[in-house]
Amino acid sequence: MKFINREKELAFLGEKWKEPGPQFIVLWGKRRVGKTELVKQFIKNKPYVYFLSESTNETEQLRRFSIAIGQFFNEPLLLTRGFAAWEESFKYIKEKNRRFALVIDEFPYLIQSNQAITSLFQKAWDEYWSKSNICLILLGSSIAMMETEVLGYKAPLYGRRTGQWRIDPMAFESVSRFRKGKAFEDRLLHFAVAGGIPAYWLQFSGEKEFWRNLKDHVLRKGQMLFDEVEFILREELREPRYYFALLQAIAQGKRKLSEIVNATGIPQPVANKYLGVLAGLKIVEREIPVTEERPLKSKKGLYRIIDEFFQFWFRFVFPRRAELEMGRIDNVLRNIHTEMPQFLSTVYEKIAIEAIKRHDKLFSFTSIGRWWEKEEEIDIVCINRDLNTILFGEAKWSERPVGIDIYDALKNKAKKVNWGGKNRKELYCLFNKKGFTDAMIKKAKEEEVILFKEDVLYQ
């Protein structure tokens, strides 16, 4: 499979490699996001040692590390005897004084095997490597551990790194290249399940249509994606049952904190704490209307699952897990068929926001998000505080062309948005799966309304 995207990340690593002197780079991000493949692409034409930490004891970790170093430096003794201690390996690397990349993948497993490992690596950098030619790259999937034990202010390694990059899920435009040549709806359906995680897209067959892929690779017991959510939560969290309850409540439409508390029975202070943990893992976020002047103090916050696979799994798979365990896949599939159009409408809103970001020359904005007030809601609102300009957008996942009625309804809702005063400049944008009526196209030309069919700017 061809390596897709990550141009910015590769460029960042390439620039660091070209800089004189030692480099200490930290890469972190959620599991399956593509950190390892990114680094492998970066080091493939360079001298390197790649070491994958595993969930094992320290003695075994050091033995395997000794072998990796021994193979690189062609040192037979290290393949048999190995280093007696980590510091011995650090000193050995310094004395060789070679320019190479030392990649340590899943560094949190190394920390688990010895809580003092970060202090040992601090000493390695301070006493041996900071005046060497090494390019040290630490990777980690445990976001919480990487941000506290490696990047955190109180961490022993704080202040040593020369660069860091959080590897985020890919945008739809990039990750959907895994289905290159397929129709937009096919790509959107797959994105609604796999999101921006390359490893999930690779589970799908390029020869199968969406519903076959869903049945064969997500809903069938024994497949990697069938147990993926449980694996991640149990790997990351101490009390996964509470997180399961919270995520199921949000996936079923309980978005206010009070609604989540009532649905789960978890006390509000505890729910707040656990939701904060899920936010740190980039699974959940607290969303605020984009026009709020003091978002941290806003009482309008709504929780939503931002990881597409988690959202899909807790909406459709987890509630009917017993049926799937018994092999009654077709029953569950029929239910998903019925609810998928509504589910896709929220995913399409995210794609629409991505499209606007790609076409920032049409409208320069300082913030982008949604707006709501009581029963009213607008899918997309972009604001530019410097220019006192606001854009209102509607994304319709509809089987028929959008007409002037949708545009008029959007303008009426826009009147209720209290932002910018009477002198604000207003712009409008419409997205639709099937395009627009002739009357709406004419109106758009007259009033300079921006139109997108699917995610392509309508010319």
* Banded model confidence at residue 332, pLDDT cuts 50, 70, 90: very high
- pLDDT score of 2: 60
Under 8 Å between Cβ of 384 and 366: yes
Close Cβ partners of 367 (under 8 Å, ≥ 6 residues apart)? 290, 382, 383, 385
Please spell the DSSP secondary structure of 75-131, one letter per residue. -HHHHHT--SSHHHHHHHHHHH----EEEEESHHHHHHH-TTHHHHHHHIIIIIITT
Q: Within a 10 A sphere around the Cβ of 70, how many other Cβ atoms?
A: 20
User: What gap in Å lies between CA 275 and CA 287, rounded to an integer?
Assistant: 12
Q: List domains and CATH numbers for the chain.
A: 7-166 (3.40.50.300), 173-350 (1.10.10), 359-457 (3.40.1350)
Q: Does 4 have pLDDT greater than 80?
A: no
User: Which one, of 239, 231, 369, 368, lies nearest residue 310 by Cα?
Assistant: 231
Q: Long-range contact list for 435-438, CB < 8 A, 24+ apart? A: 435/401, 435/402, 436/401, 436/402, 436/403, 437/401, 437/402, 437/403, 437/404
450-453/456-457 β-pairing: antiparallel
% of the chain beyond a pLDDT of 90: 89
User: What separation in angstroms does the CA of 69 have from each of 63, 64, 73, 121?
Assistant: 10, 9, 6, 16
Cα–Cα distances (Å) from 104 to 31, 155, 163, in that order, read 16, 18, 15
Q: Which of 95, 140, 134, 92 is nearest to 118 (CA)?
A: 140
**Cα radius of gyration (the chain):** 25
Q: Is 28's pLDDT higher than 70?
A: yes
pLDDT at 144: 85
Between CA 238 and CA 281 the distance in angstroms is 14
**Mean pLDDT for the chain?**
94
Burial class (CB in 10 A: 0-12, 13-18, 19+), 25: buried
Q: Coil, helix or strand for 245?
A: helix
- What pLDDT, in 10s, does the model give residues 174-201? 999 999 999 999 999 999 999 999 999 9
Residue-wise pLDDT for 103-147, tens only, equals 999 999 999 999 999 999 999 999 999 999 999 999 999 888 899
Residue pLDDT, tens place only, 53-67: 999 999 999 999 999
pTM summary value: 0.93
Q: What is the mean pLDDT of residues 236-265?
A: 92
Q: How far apart are the first and last CA of the chain?
A: 34
Q: What is the pLDDT of residues 422-450, one digit of tens each?
A: 999 999 999 999 999 999 999 999 999 99
DSSP annotation of 436? B
Distance separating alpha carbons of residues 392 and 407, to the nearest angstrom: 10
3-class SS of residue 222: coil
The closest alpha carbon to 184, from 448, 435, 440, 447, belongs to 435
**Per-residue pLDDT, 19:** 93
pLDDT band at 5 (very low <50, low <70, confident <90, very high): confident
β-pair partners for 164: 26
Backbone angles phi, psi at 426, to 5 degrees: -110, 140
CB atoms within 10 A of CB 193: 26
Three-state DSSP at 159 gives: coil
pLDDT tier at 459, thresholds 50, 70, 90: low
Q: Indicate the burial class of 161 (C-beta count within 10 angstroms; 0-12, 13-18, 19 or more).
A: middle
Would you tell me the crossing angle of helices 86-96 and 58-72 to the nearest 10 degrees? 20
Report the pLDDT value the prediction gives residue 3, as an integer from 0 to 100: 72
